[in-house]
């Protein structure tokens, strides 16, 4: 975290690890490869070219690598947005928006997976969805908090969908806060202009 205590030109920034949106995005990122490994990646027997008996469901919309990359981009864009916020509020808003877009891609992927394989998307008032939501209130939650839902493709995909909805809500709130702050206080360019104006005014008074 960086701060210029003399002018406050570059405010405190880079504290993304404390953001709940980032913490939730990390959980999604950790769980997505587990989903892909268990349910999207074929495993072949070591003694022949035949598929093993492990559950494997073909999914033609996107490759596992593409899905995992979307989950990774969600985290990395939140982190980069926070780090760049000290010198550019516009970039912070842009990168946070990109993170929101990555979440929407993931949501589309997991909903498509369920739909294409004839599996239900749980309603928001489903007891299983409520159970997933309740776990989000745990302060020490990690990907392990949700692993018991990864026993079947239906449960795993719906768990991720629920987590994505929760994280999207947090990122949406984050974007609204950033936009209001930018409209009210401006960004680095405005602070730089004001500081230069102060310096010029002081020099004028001395002359």
Angle (nearest 5°) at CA 79 between 194 and 83: 25
Parse the chain into domains and list their residue ranges.
16-206
Q: Token pair of 55, please?
A: 């559950």
Q: Which tens digit of pLDDT belongs to each residue from 68-91?
A: 999 999 999 999 988 876 566 788
99: nearest Cα among 184, 185, 16, 188: 16
The whole model's pTM is what?
Answer: 0.76
CA distance 170 to 153: 26
Low-confidence ranges of the chain (pLDDT < 70): 1-14, 41-61, 85-88, 182-205, 207
pLDDT in tens, 35-74: 999 998 665 545 545 444 445 555 666 788 999 999 999 9
């Amino acid at each position: 975290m960086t701060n210029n205590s003399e002018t406050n030109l570059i405010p405190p920034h880079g504290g993304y690890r404390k953001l709940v949106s980032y913490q939730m995005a990390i959980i999604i990122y950790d769980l997505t490869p587990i989903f892909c490994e268990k349910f999207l990646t074929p495993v072949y027997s070591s003694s022949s070219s035949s598929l093993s008996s492990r559950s494997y469901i073909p999914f033609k919309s996107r490759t596992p690598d593409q899905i995992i990359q979307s989950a990774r981009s969600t985290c990395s864009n939140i982190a980069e947005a926070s780090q760049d916020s000290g010198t550019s509020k516009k970039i912070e808003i842009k990168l946070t928006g990109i993170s929101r877009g990555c979440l929407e891609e993931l949501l589309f992927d997991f909903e498509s997976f369920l739909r294409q394989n004839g599996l239900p998307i749980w309603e928001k008032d489903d007891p299983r969805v409520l159970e997933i939501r309740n776990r989000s209130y745990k302060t020490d939650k990690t990907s392990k908090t949700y692993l018991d839902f990864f026993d079947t493709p239906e449960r795993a995909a719906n768990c991720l969908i629920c987590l994505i909805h929760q994280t999207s809500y947090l990122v949406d709130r984050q974007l609204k806060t950033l936009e209001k702050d930018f409209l009210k206080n401006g960004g680095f360019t405005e602070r730089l202009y004001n500081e230069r104006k102060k310096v010029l005014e002081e020099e004028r008074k001395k002359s």
